[in-house]
Amino acid sequence: MKLLSIMAVPIEQPLIPLTLKKQPSDYFFDHVTRFSHYEFFQQNENLDILKDDLNQWYFISKMYCNNLRQLKAFRQIHPESTALYKSLPLVDVLERFNLQLAIHDYDKAFSHVLCLTDNIDSIPIHTQMHIANCESESDPIFTTEMHYFHTVEEGARTRFIAGIESRSFATITENKHFAEEVWEKHIGITYLKLFLYYKQYKKIPSHQMTAKLLCNLFASTEALHHTSNPALYKILEL
């Protein structure tokens, strides 16, 4: 199973020299100033940095994962996790470029995961839940339900699944064109930015239908949130 994870780590304002990236017109967000994109280049390495309109900075990383254990390990952001995992690529980059964490109450990056499959039904429901939670197969699942909604394009299904208090969510799709030409090029990071803004500020920074459906889905799996609309998502028993 091949997985692609886009991750965002809240950081303090970087001390490295950044270049502001010119972004194409994006009507997904309600204001063009919701997010600013920056780059840092050094030899063969470049970093993607994001800043929201409330001056919170984020380090953005995209990584392919061969299995669920890698998916879990690759989003760890604290050096203390070294004893549990052989490779902590986010920690390595943060330390190498002296990027200081802006969160100290959580040990993982915010994540949006893509899984491309020929048939969504071939992936067990509990595995789909692990993907959304960015967990390994050996981790317990603390729920009996999976919350999601889906779209269909020319018979190919795309399922958006909310993680359970995990600061993560997943897109599982049978649509190869959507995965490679839409999700990887812009939708993956766009939906992650929406997730960041909603999770941190409890605001929906968009008037778009998909944004509202996603934030309703995110709210449905929050332990202390009781105002989501259950008519706008589906539930599968694990």
- Please list the rounded mean pLDDT of every run of 10 residues in the chain (238 residues): 94 94 84 94 88 97 94 89 73 93 93 97 96 93 92 96 96 97 96 97 96 97 87 91
Q: Determine how β-strand 45-52 pairs with β-strand 57-65.
A: antiparallel
Residue 109 token pair: 């990056």
pLDDT of residue 227: 82
The structure's pTM equals: 0.95
- Please give the pLDDT value at position 84: 65
pLDDT at 83: 61
pLDDT at 176: 96
- Amino acid code (one letter) for 51: K
For residue 79, what pLDDT is reported?
79
Amino acid code (one letter) for 156: A
Residue 122 CA to its chain's centroid (Å): 23
At 212 the pLDDT is 97
Q: How far apart are CA 237 and CA 235, in angstroms?
A: 7
- The enclosing H or E element of 45 equals strand 45-52
